[in-house]
């Protein structure tokens, strides 16, 4: 790019101003003194230039007195306009990731000047009309804006379009430890304020007659909070100390409720977090976020206080599981709080899981298991893991704990990579041939298709959904967009359950065909299709309503290997998927055995089979083995010494299943010269029964 002369500088400067900053805002926004004069604008960039592209001196627009300063000089030198009192050039911008920038600006600086961040400042423009130089013209601003071509990407930052209460604050401000402006995702600007820890108003010490060692006894301690509330006096908050139990109690405002955040830190004890950017807290801490919805609900139900207690030295009922930090959290607001749309958050930072799985649990204070112990459940709580922190998002108030469970036996990272490679090839190949099979059916054989072929085509569609959603799952998970992750998880789960269901439909149709019942059923195909697609949809909708889909980690014996969008609750996964397929497997295996028995026993009723018949029958049996989805049963053997072998067998057979079924479909049904479909016999016929290929 050629260096710009003075005229280019003027033209480019004005162009960038009106491309990165809307024309209407320049006409209407007030200056630092509250008048109608537009504020001065400082141009900066995270890029380093090696040559002079922009003027170093201040640029004036005569008709309104606006001043422009391009602090984008070669080798990061300061522009001459920075030596004037009109601009504060201490502002720097740095790149934090794709599309994310951090500015070390303050609210005071932005009250006096606007900022334009130029992502690619090395841009040369060709538009240079004569009106560019006529700054006194009444239409100067409009004419400049209209004539110039679109230029480099630029992002405007001012005090009005950057907020500290944006819904994106939690994501944008994570790990930002000072007050900065952050630009991220589609040029959204967010003000990230440094969190301020404020000591509570007073401290209340209470002596317990007995230190609780179980959740049942911790319940009795929570009942003490109502009496401690009376000791607050004129104070709004107080730290609570009961032996080894720490906590707090706070008054609930009767109106104008706000979010309340409290941090439990090792060095500072219990503090309130004044700024909402609690994501920037550093060091080990426990952070409790109480939404204003909970406070409002409590006040409406005659609640008057918030009490939070941490109970240490607590142990889970299961000997192989334990509570994180060996503690449980009790939260009380003097009223029953449930079904919150904005969940209460309990965050633990600097967590070393040591390979264990974390699960947020709650106990209502009353429910017990068969042994009379407290019954902890996951209902109403969601576990969110990011880096080295664990956050419990719960829609009700009660006792909470993070239950750490030993991880399942993991396989090595090399095996995971091998299995992933096999799966990608198999699913990709299956996806291609499933599309080819559907294409052949729609364009060539649709009018000649039998009921069995139509059922197979429905299975093809289900497997296509399964393979496509599986191949795209990890990429969507890595985007970090929860809505997209939930959607792809639901589609993947639906594809899998639909595939299982159509295995069942295949077996059912085969059984009815053997018994000669199909033709006697009214609206047979309609009933088959409704059953095949609606039943899995009901299951998926129920899990969506229960918010059971989320991003999960796939672990190896070396640690985290990958993420995917799936069912976040392991118990739900086992119960729904294994249970669902178990029902399908019992039926399909029974039909498979009956069919194989009939094929094997047929020669005894007639003449002995020749080699071609044996080959044909063997092909039919293998085809049925794939057609009825019996290959998925290898998941039942993924334990003990068979673990790794079952993984490889399961992966090879099921990722390539679409490809295998296409070959079976193609070889079982051929088109002959007159355009008719010729169905090959799958076995020799007897005088009473013939087992034939279903693809006629």
Nearest Cα to Cα of residue 662 among 613, 696, 626 = 626
Q: At what angle do helices 657-668 and 611-627 cross, to 10 degrees?
A: 140
Question: What pLDDT is stored for residue 547 in this prediction?
Answer: 86
**Residue 539: what pLDDT?**
95
Rounded Cα gap, residues 438 and 460, in angstroms: 7
User: Would you say 464 and 435 are in contact if contact means Cβ atoms under 8 Å apart?
Assistant: yes
Which one-letter DSSP state was computed for residue 155? E
- pTM surpassing 0.85? no
608-667 tens-digit pLDDT: 556 667 777 777 788 888 889 998 988 776 666 667 787 888 888 888 999 989 988 887
Of 487 and 671, the one with more pLDDT: 487
Give the confidence band of 584 by pLDDT, cuts at 50, 70, 90: very high
More confidently predicted of 68 and 256: 256
Query: 80 or 308: whose pLDDT is higher?
Result: 308
Helix 413-440 and helix 451-478, axial crossing angle in degrees, nearest 10: 140
Q: Residue 404's closest CA among 353, 329, 364?
A: 353
SS3 content of the chain, % helix, strand, coil (to 5): 40, 20, 35
CA 284 remoteness from chain centre: 25
- Residue 472: pLDDT above 90? yes
d(CA 618, CA 238): 78
Helix (H) or strand (E) holding 501: helix 482-514
Q: Which residue has the higher pLDDT, 8 or 351?
A: 351
């Amino acid at each position: 790019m050629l260096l710009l002369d003075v005229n280019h500088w003027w033209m480019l400067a004005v162009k960038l101003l009106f491309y990165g900053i809307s024309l209407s805002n320049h006409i209407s926004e007030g200056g630092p003194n509250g008048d109608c004069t537009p504020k001065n604008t400082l141009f900066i960039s995270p890029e380093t230039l090696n040559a002079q592209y922009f003027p170093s001196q201040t640029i004036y627009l005569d008709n309104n007195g606006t001043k422009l300063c391009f602090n984008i000089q070669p080798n990061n030198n300061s522009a001459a306009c920075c030596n004037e009192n009109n601009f504060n050039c201490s502002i720097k911008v740095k790149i934090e990731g794709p599309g994310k920038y951090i500015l070390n600006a303050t609210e005071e600086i932005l009250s006096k000047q606007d900022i334009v961040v130029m992502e690619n400042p090395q841009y040369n423009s060709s538009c240079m009309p004569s009106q560019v130089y006529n700054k006194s013209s009444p239409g100067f601003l409009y004419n400049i804006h209209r004539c110039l071509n679109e230029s480099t990407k630029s992002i405007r930052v001012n005090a009005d379009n950057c907020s500290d209460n944006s819904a994106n604050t939690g994501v944008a401000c994570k790990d930002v430890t000072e007050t900065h402006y952050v630009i991220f995702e589609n040029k959204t600007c967010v003000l990230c304020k440094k969190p301020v820890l404020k000591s509570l108003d007073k401290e209340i010490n209470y002596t317990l007659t007995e230190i609780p060692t179980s959740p049942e006894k911790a319940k009795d301690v929570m009942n003490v909070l109502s009496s401690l509330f009376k000791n607050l006096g004129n104070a709004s908050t107080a730290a609570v100390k009961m032996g080894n139990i720490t906590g707090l109690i706070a008054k609930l405002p009767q109106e104008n409720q706000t979010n309340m955040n409290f941090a439990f830190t090792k060095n500072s004890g219990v503090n309130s977090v004044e700024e909402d950017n609690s994501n920037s807290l550093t060091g080990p801490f426990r952070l409790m976020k109480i939404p204003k919805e909970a406070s409002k609900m409590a006040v409406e139900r005659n609640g008057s206080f918030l009490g939070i207690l941490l109970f240490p030295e607590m142990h889970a009922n299961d000997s192989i599981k334990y509570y994180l930090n060996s503690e449980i959290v009790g939260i009380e607001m003097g009223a029953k709080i449930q079904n919150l749309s904005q969940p209460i958050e309990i965050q633990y930072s600097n967590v070393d899981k040591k390979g264990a799985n974390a699960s947020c649990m709650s106990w209502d204070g009353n429910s017990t298991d068969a042994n009379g112990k407290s019954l902890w459940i996951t209902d109403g709580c969601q576990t969110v893991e990011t880096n080295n922190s664990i956050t419990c998002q719960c829609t009700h108030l009660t006792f909470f704990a993070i239950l750490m469970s030993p991880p399942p036996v993991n396989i090595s990272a090399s095996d995971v990579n091998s299995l992933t490679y096999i799966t990608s090839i198999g699913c990709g190949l299956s996806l291609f041939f499933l599309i080819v099979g559907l294409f052949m059916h729609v364009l060539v054989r649709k009018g000649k298709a039998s009921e069995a072929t139509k059922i197979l085509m429905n299975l093809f569609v289900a497997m296509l959904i399964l393979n496509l959603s599986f191949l795209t799952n990890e990429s969507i998970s890595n985007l970090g967009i929860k809505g997209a992750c939930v959607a792809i998880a639901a589609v993947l789960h639906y594809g899998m359950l639909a595939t299982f269901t159509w295995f069942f439909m295949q077996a059912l149709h085969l059984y009815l065909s053997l018994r000669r019942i199909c033709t006697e059923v009214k609206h047979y195909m309609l009933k088959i299709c409704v059953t095949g697609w609606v039943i899995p949809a009901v299951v998926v909708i129920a899990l969506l309503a229960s918010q059971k889909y989320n991003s999960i980690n796939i672990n190896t014996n070396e640690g985290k290997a990958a993420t995917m969008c799936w069912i976040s609750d392991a118990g739900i996964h086992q119960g729904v998927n294994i249970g669902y397929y178990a029902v399908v497997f019992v039926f399909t295996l029974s039909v498979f055995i009956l069919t194989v028995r009939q094929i094997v026993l047929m020669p005894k009723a007639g003449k002995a089979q020749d080699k071609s018949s044996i080959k044909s029958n063997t092909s039919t049996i293998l085809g049925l083995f794939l057609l009825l989805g019996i290959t998925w049963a290898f998941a039942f053997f993924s334990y003990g010494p068979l673990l790794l072998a079952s993984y490889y067998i399961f992966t090879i057979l099921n990722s390539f299943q679409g490809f295998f079924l296409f070959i079976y479909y193609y070889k079982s049904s051929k088109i002959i010269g007159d355009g008719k479909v010729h169905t090959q016999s799958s076995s020799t016929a007897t005088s009473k029964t013939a087992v034939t290929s279903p693809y006629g």
